[in-house]
């Protein structure tokens, strides 16, 4: 499955309300993630008690299992219908989650639960305007497919894409609180610069970014 087909599959699933969740052939170079641990972590109310933003990170990378669990919690598939751990506007799959790490930028493919290579470059420092941004091992970059949001104004596109992203961001916050990771959701982003660094087509736009890592001791 090519990256484009991943996107088309998501669009088709939105239209048909049935997602292609059967095992999918993976694009060459894609990195399968270990199956997510769906029963771990702490009770929800305890995680809510601990949720907060962090702006001091160590460089310690996340294990493959932790990355898998994080991405599934963020916006993975949680039902046979192919729907997700976060709600989304009009049942149209608008948001893609990218992971920017030291070894490049990867697109999270929830159907295959895998990372699809997007860029080989380390663009972490370009994902935000604050000093801590470069140090942390993982930046989630939320990208909206504006072209999938038909019949609404550009302002509404931005609004609904932002709300979709906010739900995902809160999933990330609660997952991080639950397993001792640190995170902060970020709007302080040079959006044109990041779109260029990510080589996004004109109809796609970054909504927010979110740093994830371990807190600096
Ligand atoms: C839409 C939005 C944008 C944000 N942008 C940034 C940002 O660019 N940089 C940052 O350090 N924190 C950012 N934050 C985090 C907030 O500053 C933080 O959630 C708030 O101060 C409350 O602190 P807490 O999350 O620790 O409860 C953002 C939060 C939201 C919801």
Q: Ligand 1 in contact with 48 (CB < 6 A)?
A: no
Nearest residue (CA) to ligand 1, atom 12: 186
Laid out side by side, the sheet with 104-109 consists of 31-32, 114-119, 104-109, 95-101, 138-145, 204-213, 182-186
Confidence bin at 19 (pLDDT 50/70/90): very low
Write the residue with the smallest CA distance to atom 30 of ligand 1. 185
Ligand 1 lined by 133 (C-beta under 6 Å)? no
Residue nearest to atom 10 of ligand 1 (CA): 186
pLDDT of residue 31: 95
Q: Which ligand 1 atom is the nearest neighbour of the CA of 54?
A: 26
Residue 186's nearest CA partner among 201, 202, 172 is: 172
* 216 Cβ inside 6 Å of ligand 1: no
pTM for the whole structure: 0.90
Ligand 1, atom 5, lies closest to the CA of 186
| Burial of 117 from C-beta contacts in 10 A (0-12 / 13-18 / 19+) | middle
- Site of tokens 């087509």: 201
Q: How much is the pLDDT for 26?
A: 64
Please choose, from the candidates 150, 62, 159, the residue with its C-alpha nearest in 3D space to the C-alpha of residue 103. 62
- Distance from the alpha carbon of residue 185 to the mean position of ligand 1, in angstroms: 6
**Ligand 1 probe mutation, 129, 169, 177, 186, most atoms within 8 A of CB:** 186
Please indicate whether residue 186, judged by its CB atom, sits closer than 6 Å to ligand 1.
Answer: yes
Is the pLDDT score of 78 beyond 80? yes
d(CA 155, CA 95): 16
34 alpha carbon – ligand 1 mean position (Å): 30
- The Cα–Cα gap between 215 and 217 comes to 6
Q: Is the CB of 53 under 6 A from ligand 1?
A: yes
Q: Tens of pLDDT along 164-217?
A: 999 999 999 999 999 999 999 999 999 999 999 999 999 999 999 999 999 998
**Ligand 1 proximity of 102 Cβ (cutoff 6 Å):** no
CB 36 within 8 A of CB 78: no
Alpha-carbon dihedral of residues 131, 134, 136, 140, nearest 10 degrees? 110
pLDDT band at 6 (very low <50, low <70, confident <90, very high): very low
């Amino acid at each position: 499955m090519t990256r484009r087909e991943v996107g088309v599959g998501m669009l088709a699933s939105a239209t048909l309300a049935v997602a292609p969740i059967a095992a999918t052939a993976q694009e060459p170079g894609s990195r399968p993630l270990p199956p997510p641990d769906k029963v771990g972590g702490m009770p929800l109310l305890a995680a809510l008690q601990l949720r907060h933003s962090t702006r001091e990170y160590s460089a310690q990378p996340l294990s493959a299992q932790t990355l898998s669990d994080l991405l599934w919690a963020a916006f993975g598939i949680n039902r046979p219908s192919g729907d997700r751990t976060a709600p989304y506007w009009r049942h149209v799959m608008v948001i893609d989650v990218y992971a920017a790490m030291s070894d490049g930028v990867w697109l999270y493919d929830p159907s295959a639960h895998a990372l699809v290579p997007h860029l080989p470059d380390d663009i972490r420092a370009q994902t935000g305007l604050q000093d801590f941004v470069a140090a942390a091992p993982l930046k989630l970059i939320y990208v909206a497919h504006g072209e999938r949001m038909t019949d609404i104004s550009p302002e509404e596109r931005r609004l609904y894409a932002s709300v979709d992203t906010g739900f995902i961001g809160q999933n990330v916050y609660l997952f991080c609180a639950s397993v001792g990771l640190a995170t902060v959701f970020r709007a302080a982003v040079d959006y044109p610069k990041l779109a260029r660094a990510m080589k996004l087509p004109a109809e796609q736009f970054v909504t927010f970014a979110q740093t994830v890592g371990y807190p600096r001791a």
